[in-house]
Amino acid sequence: MMGYESHQGLEQAHLYASKEEMESLVLNDDAAAAVPPHPLSSSPPLAQIPTNHDSDTDPLRSSPSPLLHPQSQTQNPDPHSFILEPPSYADAVFRSFDASSEINGHDLSTSSPSPSSSSYSSSDFLKISVSDPQKEQDLATSLVPGGTSYFTYLIITRTNIPEFNGTEFSVRRRFRDVVTLSDRLSEAYRGFIIPIRPDKSVVESQVMQTQDFVEQRRAALEKYLRRLAKHPAIRRSEELRLFLESQGKLPLMKPTDVASRMLDGAVKLPKQLFGGEVVAGVVDVNEVAQPAKGGKDLLRLFKELKQSVTNDWGATKPALVEEDKEFMERKDKLQELEQQLSNVSQQAEELVKAQQDIGETVGQLGLALVKLTKFETEEAVYDSQRVRAADMKNVATAAVKASRLYRELNSQTVKHLDKLHEYLGVMLAVNNAFSDRSNALLTVQTLVSELSSLNSRIEKLEVASSKIFGGDRARIRKIEELRETVRATEDAKTCAIAEYKRIKENNRNELDRLDRERREDFLSMLKGFIVNQAGYAEKMASVWETVAEETSGYVKRTS
């Protein structure tokens, strides 16, 4: 799938282009004292990252193969055989029927991370596993009785991506670090369909047993990181790299921390917008170009809210309108898809429950027949009883086998149909990507309306000033200040428009990617589901056919 790879390269180039843009803008404002550290890392800038990934010379290209299909290579024993009972049910032991050998997530040891499916056309790999939760004391409170503690998780990465400093390494991270990573990615990858991070779920952690909760969280973290590793752009990100690689404390800061550091001191963002003292260079214009968030941008938040209300009521025609018809159509279609996905997901749950129930019941019938068999055998006075007991035993054994088959079938069904549930999560991420877009648009609209109001103030002042002979020193000074603000705001507007365009492009590419991957994933899901249903049905047929054969003698009595 060469098209995919080249597209991937295109995405990366795009990403880097925009980063370079930001880089250069920062340098432009670099007139005064403190050069703000780049929001993306505290270590040397991004220049080190090559703009093109050379995939052809990757020596590890062939290696994903055995890693991809380890189970199909080793025919026996089935990795699940230890779950099933020993020899007398040997014929009830089956390999997974899947052609694609997706391995059951956490059934296997977590030290050997399993490959993720579908996007294995590229030659590089990034395998992550999360394991070994450990309780640690919060140093800040450790001396205080009843000090808080938290869990850390061992994150082991295996990769051949050159950006990483190594091929196998591990770090310890706590959940808070994951939240930071997630927030930073949301910041850096606006417009992208970014996997949603696991919930904080404070309530659950109080209700569940710690062990269960920690295990659930471990599994969720692993899933999340693997999804990040699958994303063609994010797997190349600095944020992820630092998260996976940097020993010790996570060198990523929460986004609001960055903003507050930058806005320390004299300059407040709102002040700048309102024509306060312009102290150049301290503020990253691109911060301004972002939608307002957090306490620091409170005033701007109000402005944006006012703008969005204005937009809705149509009092002022917004400068830029969402005119992309294709986008609107796509959005509507995706909303419909989300609804149907939710419906199918629910029905899938019912189906799984029904499969589980029938398996249980046929097993119980089998056990009841086993008891009957034992009883008849022990109490047998006549041969006819012994014959009956033997017949019953066959049926009982078959029923118990069938019960195991249903259980196996069901665990496979869950595995496949879980894709539906996964995509519901993806739809949430899609909505976030759409929000990024509409927020960016709103920012542009806000800045445009700011500009217009600033300009009209200047005009008014000029008119007033011109009436005074010799000029009005106060007013003239005011006008100068306003003009400075206008210039800064113009720059911000330019950035904001560029940002909006960038996000639109991200949206488009990501939606294309979504369509492609979804098609592939759904087809593989359906295939897996169908292959399983058919395969297990065939096994069950064979079990029952044996019994039918063994009891066929009884039919001869009828003419």
Partner 1 sequence: MIPTQLQRSGSGSTQSPRSPSSQEPFLSVSVIDPAKMGNGVQAYISYKVITKTNLPDYQGPEKIVIRRYSDFVWLRDRLFEKYKGIFIPPLPEKSTVEKFRFTAEFIEMRRQALDIFVNRIASHHILQQSEDLRIFLQADEQTMERARSQEIGIFKKKPADLMQIFKDVQSKVSDVVLGKEKPVEESTPEYEKLKRYIFELEDHLAEAQKHAYRLVKRHRELGQSLSEFGKAVKLLGTCEDNALGKVFSEVGDKAEIVSVKMQREAHHLLMNFEESLKDYVRAVQSIKATIAERANAFKQQCELAETIKFKEIDLNKLRLTRSEKLADAEREYDVLKADGEEATRRFEAIVQLMNEEIVRFQEQKTLDMGLAFHEFAKGQAHLANGIAEAWRSLLPKLEACASS
Residues of the shown chain interacting with partner 1 in the complex, contacts defined by CB under 8 A: 333, 336-337, 340-341, 343-344, 346-348, 350-351, 353-355, 357-358, 361-362, 364-365, 368-369, 371-372, 375, 379, 381-382, 384-385, 387-388, 391-392, 394-395, 398, 402, 519, 522-524, 526-527, 529-531, 533-535, 537-538, 540-541, 544-545, 547-548, 551-555, 557-559
**Cβ(194)–Cβ(248) below 8 Å:** no
Nearer to partner 1, 322 or 545 (CB): 545
Other beta carbons within 10 angstroms of residue 147's beta carbon come to 12
Burial of 210 by CB count in 10 Å (0-12 exposed, 13-18 middle, 19+ buried)? exposed
- Helix, strand, coil percent content, the chain, rounded in steps of 5: 65, 5, 30
Q: Identity (one letter) of the amino acid at 170?
A: S
CA–CA gap between residue 39 and residue 253 (Å, rounded): 8
Closer to partner 1 by CB, 59 or 553: give it. 553
Task: Identify the sign of the CA torsion 203, 208, 209, 211.
Answer: negative
Cβ nearer to partner 1, comparing 249 with 556: 556
Residue 136 or 512 having the CB closest to partner 1: 512
What kind and span of H or E run contains 456?
helix 383-466
Compare residues 315 and 381 and give the one whose CB is closer to partner 1. Answer: 381
What residues form DSSP beta bridges with 135?
151
* Cis before 44 (ω within 30): no
Write down the least CB distance from residue 437 to partner 1, Å.
21
Q: How far is CA 5 from the centre of its chain?
A: 21
Beta strand residue intervals within 354-425, DSSP E: none
294: DSSP letter: T
| H or E element in which residue 153 lies | strand 149-159
Q: For partner 1, give the closer residue by CB, 224 or 423.
A: 423
If the CB atoms of residues 69 and 483 are measured against partner 1, the closer one turns out to be 69
DSSP 25-51: HHHHTTTSSPPPPPTT-SSS-GGGS-S
Closer residue to partner 1 in complex, CB, 193/427: 427
State whether residue 151 is helix, strand or coil: strand
Strand ranges for 391-531 from DSSP E? none
Q: What is the largest CA-CA distance in the chain?
A: 131
